[in-house]
Structure 1
Amino acid sequence: MRYNHLHIKYTFIFILLRHSLKYLLIGTSGLPDFPEFMATATVDEVQVGYCDSNKKAEPKQEWAKELVKNDSGHLDWYSERCLLHQQAFRLSMDNLKQGSDTEGPHVLQRLTGCEWDDETGETKGFDQFGYDGEDFISLDLKTFTWIALTPKAVNTKLNWDANIGLLEENKKFLNYQYPDWLKMYPQNCITPFLFLIHKNKNTILSLLQRTPSSPISCFATHFYPDRAEMFWRKDGEEIHEGVEKGDILPNNDETFQMSVELNISSIKFEDWKRYDCVFQLSGIKDDLIIKLNKALIRTNREFPVGPVVGAVVGIFVLVFIAGVFFWIKNNKGGEEKLFYLIIKFQMNTHINALIFL
C-alpha cells in the first residue's frame, strides 16, 4: 500500500540561536508514595540531571556524565544544592501549611534558570514559585525584589525581601553563574547540532481522515524539539474558523508529534485547492507545507493508533487541587520517570499555574 505524505529528510545543519537552562523543583506534602522533593535540570528542554529525596544528583546525558567525570566539583555542587533545597522546601511547606485552610496534598514548585540568545549575546534569568496550582511569587530581576502574585504570598515577600544575603546569591546565579554554565553546556551537548539533524531526518507531514464526513487532520510526527507551530491557511492567510489545534505529544523515540484539524463540512470541494497546512519547527528556516488534496488523504484504515509515550505503561492523568495541578501516574519506571513525565507534560502545556512561564 502506498502512503501519501511528505517525508522530509533534513540534510543541512542549523544552529539553535536561543538556549535555555532550567531548574524545576517540586516539594510535596500529603503524598505518601511520592518523593518529598524532586528536582530536574534541562538544557534546551532536554533533561540533563535529576535528584530527589531518595536519590543523589546524577547526570542523564552522556556529555553531562563526561563533564562531571572531568570536574567532580560540578556534581558535588548539584548534590549539595539538592540537599539544601530539600531542607528549604520542607521548611517553606511547613510555613505555608500553617496559613492554609485546606487539608490534604500540597505542592510547592519553583522554576529558575536563564535563557541565552547566542546571536545577540542577551541573557535573561527567571525565578518563580507556585503553590497548590497557583502562581505564588516571582523575582523582579530589575529591582531584585519579590513580587507577591497572590495575597497569600505577601508575608513571604516581606520576609524574602529582608533577606539581603539570599537576594545577593540569587543575583549572582541568575546574572552570572547560570549564563556562564549555559554558554558552556551547549559546547558539550550534541543537542543544538547533529542531534537535531538526526532527530528530524524522518519528519513526516500527512493528511488524515477517519471517515468521509470527519474533519481532516494535518498530522506532523518525528520532529524535534517540541517547539513547533502548525496551522491551516486559505489563499495564503492563516485561518481560525473551523480549526482545532491539538497538543504537542511525545513519541517513543524522543521525537514529537502534533496535529491540527480542519472542519471541511462547509468547504466546497472545488475550493479545496485554496487550502493548505503549514508546519513550522523552531530552528528550521523552511516551512513544511501540504495542500488540501483528496489524493493525499490517508483514511481510517491507515490511521495511526495514537502516541506511545516511551516505555510507560498505563499513564493516566489525575486532576487535583482545583483542577490545575496534574499528577501523571506511571506504572513502571519508578518516581524518577514519573517526575520526568510531569516535567515534559508541563513544558508542553500553557497552564500558567504549572510551569510559571
Structure 2
Amino acid sequence: MKKLFLLLLFCHVSSSVKHSLKYFFTTASGIPDFPDFMAAVHVDEILAGYCDSNSKTVEIKQDWVKNYLDNNTKVLEWHTRECSRESRPKTFKVWISSVMQHLNQSEGVHILQRINGCEWDEETEEVTGFMLFGYDGEDFLSLDLKTLTWIALKPEADIIKQRWDAEEARNEHHENFLTVNCPELLKTSLAYKKSFQLRTALPSVSLLQKTPSSPVSCHATGFYPDRAMMFWRKDGEELHEDVDRGEILPNHDGTFQMRADLNISSVSPEDWRRYDCVFQLSGATRDIITKLDKAEIRTNWVKPTNTTVLIIVAVVVVALVLIAVTGFVIYRKRKGERENGKIIYLTDSFCPLILVSELINLST
C-alpha cells in the first residue's frame, strides 16, 4: 500500500466535483546553495504559485491567479509574508534539526516536507482538511483533526508527537485554518477562476511560410477558451483537400494557439486572392478572416544570391578535387614503393594543386 504522503503529493482527484487547495513546504539539510525554505500552492493539482527564501517573492504561475491577486491584495500580501518572513524558514530549520537529532543523524542530505490544505466536494459540500509531514520521502507525522492530536507514522516520530500534542493552542489554530479558512479560500478561488475562464480573448493571426515552395501556415495564438476552429476557404467554400489542421496547443500564459496549413503548390499566383483563412472562437461575435496575400506572409527565408551560389559551387569543386588529389598521391606512393623508391612526390602532386587554384579563380 502506497504511503499516504506520496499519495497526497502525486495523485489526482478522481471525482469531477471534488476540488483541492494544497500547500507544499520544503526544507533540506546538506545541500549547498539550496533555499532554506520553499513553498508551492496547488489548486486542483495545478501549480498556482511558488516562492522560496532566496527570492522572497511570490511567482504567479496562472493568469487567473494573477488577476485574482491583483484584485485581492490582502491575499497576496499574506502569501508574500509567509514566504519572506524569517520565522517560517527558521521554524522549518529547527524542525529538520530536531528530526535529525532524534534519528542520530549528524550529517548527510535530508529533506523535510509539510503538506496541508483541504478538499471540498462541490456536490455534497463535504470538507476534509489535512496536515502531513514527510521526512526523506516517507510519511512521518499527521494531524488527526478529530482529536487534535498527532499520529506518529514512524516509531522515531513518537517523541515529537508527544511534544506537539501538548501544544493545544497551535493545534486549534491548525484546525481553524484547515476546516474554515482553507475551504473559504478554495471556494473563492474557484469562483474567480470560473468567471475568468468564461471570458473570451481573440488571437493574433499571422501567415507564415518557411520557403516559397512550403505550405502557407495560418497561425493563431493568444485565444481563449480552447473551443475554436480554423480552416481555409476558396471562393467562400471551405477546403478539405491540400489543408493540414494542427491541434490546439496551450501557451505558457493560459491561452491557446493553433494552425492550419495550405498547400499552395498547385495554386497559381493570380488565384491567391480567392483564398482566405477563417478563425472562429466560441463566444466571439465575429470571425477573423485573413486573405492569402504574399505581402502579408512572414518568413525567415532569404533568397540565395549569385555570390552565394558561386561560393557553394567552388566549395564543392574544391572538395572533389582534393579527394582526387589524395587518391592520386596515395596511388603514386604505392606505385613508387613497388619501383624501389623512384618517386618525386612534390612534382607529381603539384599539377593537381595548380588545377584546384585555377578552378577557384574561375568560380570567383
State TM-score, norm by structure 2: 0.48
Query: Which protein has the bigger strand share?
Result: 1
Structure number with bigger Rg: 2
State TM-score, norm by structure 1: 0.49
